[in-house]
Structure 1
């Protein structure tokens, strides 16, 4: 029985357009150039940070992120960056008695920004907070400990095949893949996704009624 739903953050709850645009401006390239490179590395299964390194070879992403912060061009997440279905879905899931969390591969700063938005969730955490990132199995072990649930009682919702579906499934969690963002659209019709994800959804608002029969 699913008693907790945990959401990935980037391109699941948060539209990453602003952050990628900020990186493009920082590196001195047009936004469409960086978007194309993100798509290229995604298509071949590389980390999206590799798109930044194609522009500036050898880039230390953590150091560059710190430089952005120091220059007043740091990471920002505001209400306008949330997808429109986020607040109503989170609120409805909690109203139906589920424990709801947000946990993804983000910085400590991103976690702070999300908590400042007072989302209708029980908790927010990031890989920066936990010092372990998806698809490392320890990330999902931490999710289970954090939510105080057994793995099979948790549904993990995300847009990334390897990080959010296959890794969570291997750790014993139930999974849902959302078709949005470059990764979600790219992999939503892959055979492996269809075989492994419990659900494929187009909108987070589908979740409450999908979960009702299994509560």
Structure 2
């Protein structure tokens, strides 16, 4: 029985369109160029931040985050950044009695912005707030702790095989791979992902039926 559903953030709860557009503008490269570089690192199984370093070799991503904030061009999230199925899906899960947690690799500022959207979730937390990021096993130990359920009763939902599906499964969680965003689409039919994921979904609204079983 699934008692808690935990969601990744980028390309699961939120669209990354604004995120990458803002980085392209900050680095003064065409948006299409940076999008293409993101696609390249996704295809190679590399970290998304490598796209930024390809656009500007030697880039210190953390330092650039701080510089953007200081320049008044930091992170921003609002209702338009949410996927359309987020509120209906989370609302239905809570109606069915599931605990809903949002926990992904994001900055503390992103956590503040998400909590400001008044989402139907019991907890919203980011890797920046925990001080540990996926795929580190400690991240998933923290997930289990806040889930208030045993590992086998927790479903982790995400688009990223290396950051979501595989480490969550190794931690003993149930997993749902979401066909969404570059990672989700490109790796959806990968044999390793298919074998590791308990479920494969194309919309968050499919989760209600899973939890109801």
The RMSD of aligned alpha carbons is 0.6
Tell me the residue number matched to 1:195. Answer: 195
What SS is found at the alignment partner of 1:6? strand
What SS is found at the alignment partner of 1:77? coil
TM-score of the superposition, structure 1-length normalised?
0.98
**Displacement after TM superposition at 1:192 (Å):** 0.8
**Displacement after TM superposition at 1:211 (Å):** 2.1
Distance 1:57 1:106 in 2: 22
**Displacement after TM superposition at 1:107 (Å):** 0.2
Counterparts of residues 174-185 of structure 1 (less than 5 Å): 174-185=174-185
**Structure 1 unaligned residues grouped into runs of 5+:** none
**Displacement after TM superposition at 1:210 (Å):** 2.3
Tell me the residue number matched to 2:131. Answer: 131
Tell me the residue number matched to 1:60. Answer: 60
Counterparts of residues 49-88 of structure 1 (less than 5 Å): 49-88=49-88
Q: Deviations over 1:65-116 (max 9, x none)?
A: 1100111110001000000000000000000000001000000000000000
Q: Which runs of 4+ in 1 moved over 3 A?
A: none
What SS is found at the alignment partner of 1:177? strand
TM-score of the superposition, structure 2-length normalised?
0.99
**Displacement after TM superposition at 1:55 (Å):** 1.2
Counterparts of residues 27-176 of structure 1 (less than 5 Å): 27-176=27-176
Distance 1:15 1:39 in 2: 15
| 8 Å contact kept, 2:41–2:48 | yes
What is the total number of aligned residue pairs between the two structures? 213
Tell me the residue number matched to 1:24. Answer: 24
Distance 1:55 1:164 in 2: 26
Tell me the residue number matched to 1:4. Answer: 4
**Displacement after TM superposition at 1:152 (Å):** 1.0
| 8 Å contact kept, 2:93–2:211 | no
Distance 1:62 1:148 in 2: 32
Distance 1:155 1:180 in 2: 17
**Displacement after TM superposition at 1:184 (Å):** 0.1
**Displacement after TM superposition at 1:14 (Å):** 0.0
**Displacement after TM superposition at 1:50 (Å):** 0.6
